[in-house]
Amino acid sequence: MGLYTGKVVIVTGSGNGIGRAEALAFAKEGAHVVVNDVGGARDGTGKDTKAADAVVAEIKAAGGDAIATTTSVADLDGAESIVWAALNRYKRVDVLVNNAGILRDKGLLNMAVAEWDAVLDVHLKGSFLMTRAFGRAIKQQGPGAYAIVNTTSMSGLLGNFGQANYSAAKAGLFGLTRTTSIEFEKLGCRTNAIAPVALTRMTEDIPLLQQMGVEQMGPIHVAAVVSWLASDLAKDVNGRVFGVHGKKVFEYAMSQSDGVDGPNGNDSGDDSDAPWTPEALQAALPRIGFKG
C-alpha cells in the first residue's frame, strides 16, 4: 500500500521536467494519475500528444495506472475536460497539482501584450480554471481528504529581471494559494504551494544549474516535496509555501513589521489626531519598515 493507493491525482504540465517527476512519484505511491500536457515548446507554442503519452507509458511499464490528456489549462473547456477525464475514468478526484507553465522572457519595456497574456493565461488563469473545476468536483463528492499543490516561483516571490509576466503570474499564485486554502478548507481540501528551482527544460540555459547537474538539482527532489504535501502525512499543513532548491527545503512567509501607530505616537499608540505628512513618514521610516 502506497501513500496514494486508490486516489486519483491530476498533474498539469506533466509531460516533462518537474511535472513528469511528480506524476511518476504519485504513480509509484499507488495513485491513478491523469497526465496532462499539450506537448508544446517551453514558450507554449506547438502541440504534440507524444509527451503525455510517453509519461503514461512509463508509468504503466512500472506497473502503475495513468491516462493522458492534452488540452490546455488556459482554455475553459480544456481545463474542465481534464477534470472530467479523471471523473469519467476513475469516478473521482483527490489531488490537483497545478504545474503547467511557459516562459516568454523579455524586458518589461519591450514586452508585447501577447507575451504578457500568454504567460498569465497558462500559469495564473490556468491554475484558477483547474482549481475551480477541481473544487466543484470534490464538492459533489462530499467532504474528504483532498489536496491542491500550486507551483509558484522564487521569481514571483522576490522578482527577477526580464520576467515581469512570469513573476506577476507566480506572485498571483501565492495569493490564489492563500485564498483557496481558506475557501476550500470547508470541503476538506488543503492548498499549499512550492517555489522550486530545478534543472529542467525550462531552466536548461542557466549556467549555475548546468554546473550543479541533475543529481543535485533534478526535479526528483521537487517531486518528493509535492508528494509529501499532498499526502495525509501533511494533513495539518495548509496555506503554506515551501521553497525547494535541490535537497534544500525551506518555507517562505509574508511578514509584517511592527510599524508605528501615528506621527506623534510610538509603538504603544498615538495620542494625537494629527494625520501623517510625507515628512513625518520619511522621518519615521526606520521604525515603520524592516530596513532603516
Does pLDDT of 95 surpass 80?
A: yes
Query: Under a CB-based contact definition with an 8 Å cutoff, are residues 158 and 115 in contact?
Result: no
Does pLDDT of 188 surpass 80?
A: yes
pLDDT of residue 202: 58
Query: Under a CB-based contact definition with an 8 Å cutoff, are residues 167 and 155 in contact?
Result: yes
Does pLDDT of 150 surpass 80?
A: yes
| 1-5, 46-50, 88-92, 207-211: range with lowest mean pLDDT | 207-211
Does pLDDT of 164 surpass 80?
A: yes
Query: Under a CB-based contact definition with an 8 Å cutoff, are residues 157 and 197 in contact?
Result: no
Q: How confident is the model at residue 47 (pLDDT cuts 50, 70, 90)?
A: confident
Report the alpha-carbon angle 197-49-222, nearest 5.
20
| Domains with residue ranges and CATH for the chain | 8-252 (3.40.50.720), 257-292 (no CATH)
Average pLDDT over every residue of 147-151? 98
pLDDT tens-digit map of 197-249: 864 555 555 555 455 545 566 789 999 999 999 999 999 999 999 999 988 99
pLDDT of residue 264: 79
* Inter-axis angle of helices 126-141 and 164-183, nearest 10: 20
pLDDT of residue 273: 74
Query: Under a CB-based contact definition with an 8 Å cutoff, are residues 200 and 159 in contact?
Result: no
Question: At 46, phi and psi to the nearest 5?
Answer: 85, 170
Does pLDDT of 269 surpass 90?
A: no
Query: Under a CB-based contact definition with an 8 Å cutoff, are residues 14 and 99 in contact?
Result: yes
How many Å apart are CA 234 and CA 175, to the nearest integer?
21
Torsion angle defined by CA atoms of residues 41, 150, 127 and 4, in that order, rounded to the nearest 10 degrees: 90
Q: What percent of the chain has pLDDT over 90?
A: 76
How many Å apart are CA 99 and CA 122, to the nearest integer?
10
| 19-28, 89-98, 256-265: range with lowest mean pLDDT | 256-265
The residues assigned a catalytic role are 166
Does pLDDT of 117 surpass 90?
A: yes
| 53-62, 64-73, 173-182, 274-283: range with lowest mean pLDDT | 274-283
pLDDT of residue 199: 47
Taking every pair of Cα atoms in the chain, the longest distance, rounded to a whole number of angstroms, is 73
Q: Tell me the pLDDT of the chain averaged across its residues.
A: 90
pLDDT of residue 65: 98
| 9-23, 178-192, 194-208, 218-232: range with lowest mean pLDDT | 194-208
